[in-house]
Amino acid sequence: MADPAGGGLIAMAEARDVVVLGGGPAGSTAAILLAREGWKVTLLEKERFPRFHIGESLLPFGNTLLKDLGIWEDLVQGGFTVKPGADFHAGDGHGMLRSDFSRFLGEEFGRTFQVDRASFDHLLLRKAGEAGAEVREGTRAEVVELGSGGVRVRAHGESGAEDYEARWLLDCTGRDATVGRHLGLPKSDLGMAKKLAVYAHFRGVRRNEGAWEGNISIVRLEGGWFWIIPLREGITSVGLVQPMARFREAGGEPREVFERACTGSPEMRFRMKAAERASDWHITSDYTFRHHRTAGARWILCGDAAGFIDPIFSSGVRVAMESAARAARLAGRCLKEGRGLSASEQADYHRKFVRMTGAFLRMIRMFYDNHGFEVFINASGLLGLQRAVVDVVGGNTEPSWGVKWRQELFFAICRLQRWVKFAPRLPLFTAAARARAAAEA
Ligand SMILES: Cc1cc2nc3c(=O)[nH]c(=O)nc-3n(C[C@H](O)[C@H](O)[C@H](O)COP(=O)(O)OP(=O)(O)OC[C@H]3O[C@@H](n4cnc5c(N)ncnc54)[C@H](O)[C@@H]3O)c2cc1C
């Protein structure tokens, strides 16, 4: 594969082995793993931590990596909310599916955490420093050259600009996609509508009772969905995601649309009755995209910098950390062998990224389809198909054959539901229910 970055060998005097751009979950994961192997790693992060970030619900199939990175105990000791499952509600209160992780996924993946990202990302970044990486916060990075023998980056820190040279570059700059923009890499929206999320932290949100208090709750509306994520110290994160076009049609400020959508949903009215806002409102555009290429001879894109997938199944941090771990292994191997990434290794990394994100995408498309959602929310009663759903909700991107065939059957039933009533029709999607919600709002 031709490298669009081109370029010759960069003079490598005093060069670092790896420069990691961005200190979110992807960047810190890569920096920890590479620094631990003894490589000279510099991580450049434009913000000073702790800083707010969205993406607060983790998936249990990410547990193994959290343990490898040495952060699991910190999460336990830090009192982060334990997440034993995920609940999906029809917004009118008629229908609910509970994904109980320990019942379906066993001990290792039976629970994980809800995290305020300011603390979680800071913990990981500190671990990168402890592992031996040089961490530079308050330093925005810009790519100068991606050559076949190394890379050059300009870092804009508090004391001015400085150039860095390294044998390898891992782009973990999230949706800023620094390398993608620098190279003008083509990307696809994967056929997903452009969406907007409006969210805030609240106190006094009604949570589940007992053992399920830590579950994430997703409340599906006719044209969008809410998340309810219970965090530490009585704080609950609540957000509304809808297509951009719906926000425009609804009119008013996004927070007004949020409030009206709450009022229009019996489930949300019940949850938010005594809620008081405890943070500013945040608004994030939520555009699914994936680059057509995610690696070159001396660079690899990780996490959101490679692609961002609709957040309905909380897949972002899992994909970010897993892709970064894979990139770190590849870069480490190439460093040992004193070479760049071959064309087939680049293609293989990309294929794996597509497969990982694709595992979620299929379920996401089904979730947004009204007939698919009717099957989804009734999965527990349908031929034991709940396992097919829980694996994806738990973040398993490499399911066993036993799960795969169930998933194929599940998707086939979702497609057929339009014509054959496998699952009861949901009142949520009838014209009368839509009119009622509009009148209540
Ligand atoms: C509405 C919404 C809800 C979501 N909910 C969830 C959820 O519940 N669970 C979940 O797992 N995921 C969720 N996500 C996705 C999640 O936020 C991301 O997938 C995840 O943060 C990706 O991690 P990352 O390390 O790739 O990027 P980021 O976390 O974005 O980190 C990138 C870092 O790079 C830094 N940076 C950027 N540009 C530069 C530069 N030029 N130089 C230096 N540093 C730079 C940034 O400051 C940032 O710290 C959600 C996303 C949205 C939009």
Per-residue pLDDT tens for 194-235?
999 999 999 999 999 999 999 999 999 988 999 999 999 999
- Model ipTM value: 0.99
Question: Of 20, 32, 33, 45, which is best to mutate to test ligand 1, by the most ligand atoms within 8 angstroms of its C-beta?
Answer: 45
Question: Of 88, 171, 173, which is best to mutate to test ligand 1, by the most ligand atoms within 8 angstroms of its C-beta?
Answer: 173
pLDDT, mean of residues 16-43: 98
Is 22 touching ligand 1 by the criterion CB < 6 Å? yes
385, 413 contact by CB (below 8 A):
yes
Question: Of 314, 318, 360, which is best to mutate to test ligand 1, by the most ligand atoms within 8 angstroms of its C-beta?
Answer: 314
Residue nearest to atom 15 of ligand 1 (CA): 316
Q: In the CATH scheme, what is the code of domain 16-71+116-188+290-341? A: 3.50.50.60
Nearest partner of 171 among 346, 31, 340, judged by Cα: 31
Residue 176 Cα to ligand 1 midpoint, Å, equals 9
Per-residue pLDDT tens for 311-335?
999 999 999 999 999 999 999 999 9
How many Å apart are CA 331 and CA 167, to the nearest integer?
A: 9
338, 308 contact by CB (below 8 A):
no
Nearest partner of 20 among 28, 12, 9, judged by Cα: 28
Pick the CATH number of 80-115+190-286 from 3.30.9.100, 3.30.360.10, 3.30.1130.10, 3.90.420.10: 3.30.9.100
Average pLDDT of the chain is: 92
Residue ranges per structural domain of the chain: 16-71+116-188+290-341, 80-115+190-286, 366-427
Is 311 touching ligand 1 by the criterion CB < 6 Å? yes
Question: Hey, CA dihedral for 199, 204, 206, 207, is it positive or negative?
Answer: positive
| pLDDT at residue 248 greater than cutoff 70 | yes
Residue 216 alpha carbon, nearest atom of ligand 1: 8
Is 23 touching ligand 1 by the criterion CB < 6 Å? yes
Task: Name 34's Cβ contacts closer than 8 Å, sequence gap at least 6.
Answer: 17, 18, 20, 41, 133, 328, 331, 332
- Chain centroid to CA 439: 35
Question: Confidence class of residue 190 from pLDDT cuts 50, 70 and 90?
Answer: very high
